[in-house]
Amino acid sequence: MADRPADDEVRDLGERVLAPLADEIERSVEAALRPRKLDEFVGQQTVRAQLSLVLEAATARGVAPDHILLSGPPGLGKTTLAMIVAAELGASLRVTSGPAIQHAGDLAAVLSSLEEGEVLFLDEIHRLARPAEELLYVAMEDFRVDVVVGKGAGASAIPLTLPPFTVVGATTRSGLLPAPLRDRFGFTGHLDYYDAFELEKVLHRSARLLDVPLAADAATEIARRSRGTPRIANRLLRRVRDWAQVRGTGDMDLAAARAALEVYEVDPIGLDRLDRSVLDALCTRFRGGPVGLTTLALTVGEEPETVETVAEPYLVREGLIARTPRGRVATPAAWRHLGLEPPTDQGTLFRA
Ligand SMILES: Nc1ncnc2c1ncn2[C@@H]1O[C@H](COP(=O)(O)OP(=O)(O)OP(=O)(O)O)[C@@H](O)[C@H]1O
């Protein structure tokens, strides 16, 4: 039988997979603005209430809570919530992601380096390779992992019992998760876009943390153009601060907000350059569609996944495009938004 790998070797491999994302999160300019406690987290009342019950009950019983799956579009707070889960439990957080794990062995190394009660944040869990996914089900259910030692015919699997831990998985595409993996999560929370009032609260909180005075009407204007997304709200806030400091009087008022957002090509309903190029391609190159996602993405020079997860959900939500079985179609509102007339022979879907 092959030798059991030294604990140090396993830990080293685990750290290699874990470290890059953890560093990235720490370095991120967003880090300072992240709420650290559940009651600082704005909006998402339902998920917050449900999560707080899961955490309180587990804490009261003195056990690791069930595995938690968070789904929803980018920038709505999945990473923040994962950090909050660990903080509320007083546990340490390990961070990795589906794409960072190239082989099942990488995941085995991460799992076998976990300590009791730790929270493992697996971002983009829908992008885990199939063998890693299968290893994860077993680890989540039975707290066991097989560490393969050696290569080829001489390889053997050594079963390792894991201490109790909690996986927090995040995905922008929960529909892509295979049912057996989805079923291993005892709690699933779906994050939805924020309304303008909630985004104003996010903005005022961030302005306080950045120590910049933000006028109420400027916050309303930024919130309106933030596509329901706190990450975008915070980013626009920083751009308005730049404009106010360099081109304006230093005041973050409505005039500064409008001028800055014009410079950064964020339109009055929050569409940015990518959104507008998708709409523009759909209306002018494809006469309003229907057109397939891949063709549309190629036309705007983006990955289909970026168009599908970043631009499309907001365009659909704003009623500017529709997804049909034959492809993406521009709605009358899209033509109006671009100041264009729809062609009279556009597909039958939206003809009056
Ligand atoms: N509910 C909230 N209240 C206050 N700030 C928030 C909230 N949700 C998110 N934020 C802020 O928005 C930013 C993005 O959040 P986060 O990184 O958690 O999003 P995400 O859903 O994990 O995105 P992605 O899937 O793209 O990684 C963070 O800086 C965080 O401070």
Q: Tens-of-pLDDT digits for all 352 residues of the chain?
A: 444 445 454 444 445 455 445 455 445 667 788 899 999 999 999 999 999 999 999 999 999 999 999 999 889 999 999 999 999 999 999 999 999 998 888 899 899 999 999 999 999 999 999 889 989 988 999 999 987 777 777 888 888 899 999 999 999 888 888 898 999 999 999 999 999 999 999 999 999 999 999 999 999 999 999 999 999 999 999 999 999 999 989 889 999 999 999 999 999 999 999 999 999 999 999 999 899 999 999 999 999 989 998 899 889 999 999 999 999 999 999 999 999 988 876 554 554 4
220 as an active site residue: the answer is: no
What pLDDT, on a 0 to 100 scale, did the predictor assign at position 4?
45
Ligand-binding annotation for 225, yes or no, is: no
Burial environment of residue 115 by CB neighbours within 10 A (0 to 12, 13 to 18, 19 or more): exposed
Clarify whether residues 148 and 132 are in a common domain. yes
What pLDDT, on a 0 to 100 scale, did the predictor assign at position 300?
95
Clarify whether residues 185 and 200 are in a common domain. no
DSSP code of 152? G
Ligand-binding annotation for 270, yes or no, is: no
188 as an active site residue: the answer is: no
Ligand 1 contact via 98 beta carbon (within 6 Å)? no
Annotated active-site residue in 96, 171, 172, 331: 172
| Residue 268 lies inside a defined structural domain of this protein | no
Cβ within 8 Å of residue 153, ≥6 positions away: none
299 as an active site residue: the answer is: no
Find the 271 Cα to ligand 1 centroid distance in Å: 19
Residue 49 tokens read as 């209430």
Clarify whether residues 208 and 331 are in a common domain. no
Domain boundary among 220, 241, 263: 263
What pLDDT, on a 0 to 100 scale, did the predictor assign at position 339?
92
| Residue 2 lies inside a defined structural domain of this protein | no
Find the 116 Cα to ligand 1 centroid distance in Å: 27
Residue 69 tokens read as 């799956």
Mutate to test the pocket of ligand 1, among 76, 81, 123 (most ligand atoms within 8 A of CB): 76
- Residue identified by tokens 């938004």 is 337
| Residue 186 lies inside a defined structural domain of this protein | yes
Q: Domain residues for 235?
A: 196-263
Ligand-binding annotation for 241, yes or no, is: no
Domain boundary among 263, 292, 307: 263
Clarify whether residues 109 and 252 are in a common domain. no
348 as an active site residue: the answer is: no
Burial environment of residue 83 by CB neighbours within 10 A (0 to 12, 13 to 18, 19 or more): buried
Cβ within 8 Å of residue 321, ≥6 positions away: 278, 279, 282, 289, 312, 315, 328, 329, 330, 331, 334
CATH code of residue 285: 1.10.10.10
Strand partners, 269: none
Residue 7 tokens read as 């604990």
What pLDDT, on a 0 to 100 scale, did the predictor assign at position 11?
46
Clarify whether residues 175 and 211 are in a common domain. no
What pLDDT, on a 0 to 100 scale, did the predictor assign at position 345?
65
Clarify whether residues 186 and 201 are in a common domain. no
231 as an active site residue: the answer is: yes
Clarify whether residues 21 and 156 are in a common domain. yes
Ligand-binding annotation for 323, yes or no, is: yes
Annotated active-site residue in 225, 231, 235, 241: 231
Residue 252 to residue 239: CA distance in whole angstroms: 11
Clarify whether residues 145 and 55 are in a common domain. yes
What pLDDT, on a 0 to 100 scale, did the predictor assign at position 105?
86
Clarify whether residues 286 and 323 are in a common domain. yes
Clarify whether residues 37 and 112 are in a common domain. yes
Closest Cα to atom 9 of ligand 1: 77
